[in-house]
């Protein structure tokens, strides 16, 4: 009886060890196959609303937060100046048409962040004005052009006031809050950059 218990215990322990060892290489190979960006160029944000203030604010906050997430900082001015050379030979200034592979040559980036922002301000009523911002971002490899990460998010802030001037002021103040929320939600799923990786 004692011998049978010992043999059963040995089989259980052996099975657990084999199970753990069998899974380790699979986890390691998954991590090797995962493409991890090192330098991200954040392209100008496509905005479905003619007012570009929200998209500029979103882009600036996105670059700032990428830096705190461990990625090298590429300034907006440098990115835009380098992208101008692409537009000189083309009548089309659509950011989504920028080839990700050109980003490596122009900026030394191994990936490009393409974002589209939309605002919904149609619900404006007397004493009430909500701000709703929706964003979709894709990270494309500069090597292959494939999408290696994507995320989307939205945030809404509701403002109330008895005067139009007060309502407008509150809306301007809450715009930054809404954009901060959207940026934080978007970047939650992005892996840490090379400066924070082990």
Residue 26: pLDDT band (50, 70, 90) is very low
Measured CA to CA, the distance from residue 121 to residue 149 in angstroms comes to 29
Q: What pLDDT was estimated at residue 120?
A: 77
pTM of the model: 0.74
Q: What pLDDT was estimated at residue 34?
A: 54
Asked whether the predicted pLDDT for residue 17 surpasses 50, the reply is no
Residues facing residue 93 across a β-bridge: none
Measured CA to CA, the distance from residue 126 to residue 162 in angstroms comes to 8
Beta-strand ranges (E) seen in 22-69 are: 40-42, 46-47
C-alpha neighbours within 13 Å on the C-beta side of residue 142:
21
Q: What pLDDT was estimated at residue 16?
A: 47
167 vs 138: which has the higher pLDDT: 138
Asked whether the predicted pLDDT for residue 60 surpasses 90, the reply is yes
Q: What is the DSSP letter of 92?
A: -
Residue 146: how many other CB atoms lie within 10 Å:
10
Q: What pLDDT was estimated at residue 30?
A: 34
Q: What pLDDT was estimated at residue 1?
A: 65
């Amino acid at each position: 009886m004692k011998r049978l218990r010992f043999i059963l215990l040995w089989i259980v322990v052996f099975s657990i060890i084999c199970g753990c060892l069998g899974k380790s290489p699979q986890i390691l190979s998954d991590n090797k196959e995962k493409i991890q960006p090192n330098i991200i160029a954040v392209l100008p944000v496509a905005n479905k609303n003619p007012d570009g203030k929200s998209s500029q604010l979103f882009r600036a906050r996105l670059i700032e937060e990428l830096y705190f997430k461990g990625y090298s900082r590429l300034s907006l001015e440098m990115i835009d100046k380098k992208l101008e050379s692409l537009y000189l030979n083309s009548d089309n200034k659509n950011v989504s048409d920028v080839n990700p592979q050109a980003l490596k040559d122009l900026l030394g980036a191994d990936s490009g962040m393409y974002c589209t922002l939309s605002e919904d301000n149609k619900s404006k009523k007397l004493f009430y004005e909500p701000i709703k911002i929706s964003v979709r971002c894709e990270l494309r490899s500069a090597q292959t052009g494939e999408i290696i990460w994507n995320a989307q998010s939205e945030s809404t802030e509701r403002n109330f006031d008895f005067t139009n001037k007060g309502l407008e002021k509150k809306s301007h103040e809450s715009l930054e809050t809404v954009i901060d929320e959207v940026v934080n939600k978007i970047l939650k799923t992005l892996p840490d950059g090379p400066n924070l990786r082990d």
